[in-house]
């Protein structure tokens, strides 16, 4: 009875690992980091910001979401957002595509086995806590 179940359970396990890893492996390499945030200055163009972050605006966290502290709801809905593994960056541009402001948010995620494995291997870090 167990001889037939073991290969089946092995196939199910491999399928689950591959299904969870595929979206993460498909994410482009970004530079959404604290160092990049410090490199974004008022007066820069949108193209310069894209060069610093290495990806267009979007969520590159593999399932996380951003939360911003100390800002009103209206401030958090304007601008363009980059969400990475460690933090989120929101940049507000004027009509000419020039940076007016940029700020950092905290990335939240559901705990999953794959993220915990990546964290333990040093491939992903825990979110940075924003202190006011």
Please report, for the domain that includes residue 93, its CATH number.
3.30.1450
| Total tally of structural domains belonging to the chain | 1
Unique residue bearing structure tokens 């689950």: 16
Q: What is the pTM of this model?
A: 0.63
Is residue 6 assigned to a domain? Answer: no
Is residue 13 assigned to a domain? Answer: no
Q: Which two tokens stand for residue 71?
A: 């800002």
Is residue 84 assigned to a domain? Answer: yes
56-60, 69-73, 98-102: least confidently modelled range: 69-73
**Cα→Cα distances 56→8, 53, 65, Å:** 41, 8, 17
Q: Show the domain range for 87.
A: 28-120
Is residue 32 assigned to a domain? Answer: yes
Is residue 23 assigned to a domain? Answer: no
Is residue 4 assigned to a domain? Answer: no
Find out whether 10 and 66 touch, Cβ atoms under 8 Å. Answer: no
Is residue 130 assigned to a domain? Answer: no
Distance CA 77, CA 66 (A): 12
40-54, 97-111, 116-130: least confidently modelled range: 116-130
């Amino acid at each position: 009875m167990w001889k037939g179940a073991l290969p089946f359970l092995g196939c199910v396990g491999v399928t689950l690992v591959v299904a969870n890893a595929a979206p993460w492996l498909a994410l482009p390499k970004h530079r959404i980091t604290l160092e990049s945030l410090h490199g974004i200055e008022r007066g820069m163009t949108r193209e310069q910001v894209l060069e610093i972050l290495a990806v267009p605006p979007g969520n590159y966290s593999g399932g996380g979401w951003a939360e911003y502290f100390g800002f009103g709801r209206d401030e958090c809905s304007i601008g363009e957002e980059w969400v990475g593994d460690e933090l989120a960056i929101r940049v507000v541009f004027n009509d000419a595509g020039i940076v007016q402001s940029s700020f950092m948010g905290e990335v939240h995620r559901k705990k999953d086995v794959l993220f915990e494995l990546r964290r333990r291997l040093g491939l992903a870090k825990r979110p940075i806590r924003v202190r006011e």
